[in-house]
Structures are given as structure tokens and as C-alpha cells.
Amino acid sequence: MNDLLAGLLEVQGLADIGCPLDLPETSPTIPENALQKARYVYENFGVNCFSEDTGLEIEALGGEPGVLSARYAGEGREAEANMQLVLQKMAGVESRKARFYTVIALILDGQEHLFEGIAEGTIRHEKSGTDGFGYDPIFQPVGFGATFAELTKAEKNAISHRGKAVRKLIDFLTSLNP
């Protein structure tokens, strides 16, 4: 983020401002979770900030795991267990349409702004690839014959949900300082 935002603003991590690394995420939606985390930092530490929340939404599962993506298989936040639960629930399901959905919440001088990014794709029948994290080994983006875990970092960043949301954030910040 520092590289992408160079010249626009200085990015500090939670540890840099003495904030606990596990922020509250109790809201029922991804946008509300992103805002909840940003509001916590802004209200408790008095700094302009942004946070994000991301979820994998699978059409055949009614949008699951969605807002619970990190904890889908339990509070342990274990990526492998989460993937296995998705694959188990998707066994025998023909329609594999899914999307990653990211929201970045920016609080700048008390004003709240949201930036969304979506990556459409499908859920593979089995894991493939070793790069990335989370559900990357089972998510194949539209237009590619590979999973996120098989793409190069540059390829993934160009099409990913987070990449799209970050570019919108950068465009907004750039518009403030032409």
C-alpha cells in the first residue's frame, strides 16, 4: 500500500499507532464490517484511516460464506478448513458461480467513503495452485483457466477484487491532490 499510495499519504499499520491487531467485525455485511473497523480506529486513535473487508460469495450457497468467509469453518480462521467446507458443500453442485467482494472504508477528516471491488468467477472442484491465500486455490476468475493461486501476483492484482477497490481509493485520493 505504501508503494501504491506514495505521495498521496503515509500509510501506517495498526501496530504503528498502538492499535490492537484484531479489530471488531460484528456487523452483518461486508461494507458495515469495513466501516466498523475504520470507525474503531478513527474514534479511538484519532487518525484518518482506511480498512477493508472481503468475502467470497457463492451463488449456489445463497451467498455463503460471505461476511463469515474468514471464520466459515470456525473461529480459528483456518484457510484450509474453510476451503474444505466450501468444497464439501459444493459437492455435486453444478452451478459454481461465485465472486469475491471487497469494500474499503476510508475515513478522512471525519468523512466516510466506500470503495468496492468485485472479481467474478467460479469455484473449482478441487484446489489448484500454491500462491495467494484464503480461497485462492479454489477460485477461478472469469476469463482465466487458472485459479487466483496459480496466477502471478501482477496478474491477480490487475483483476482482483482488492486491486479494483484499491485503484478506486487511489483515484479518489489523487482527485483531492491533483
**Which residues are tagged catalytic?**
53
Any long-range contacts for 67-72 (C-beta under 8 Å, 24+ apart)? 67/27, 67/28, 67/29, 67/30, 67/33, 69/134, 69/135, 70/134
For residues 33 and 23, what is the distance between their CA atoms, to the nearest angstrom?
10
- Based on DSSP, count helices (H) and strands (E) in the chain, helices before strands: 4, 4
Work out the angle at residue 28's Cα, subtended by the Cα atoms of residues 110 and 38, and round it to the nearest 5 degrees.
25
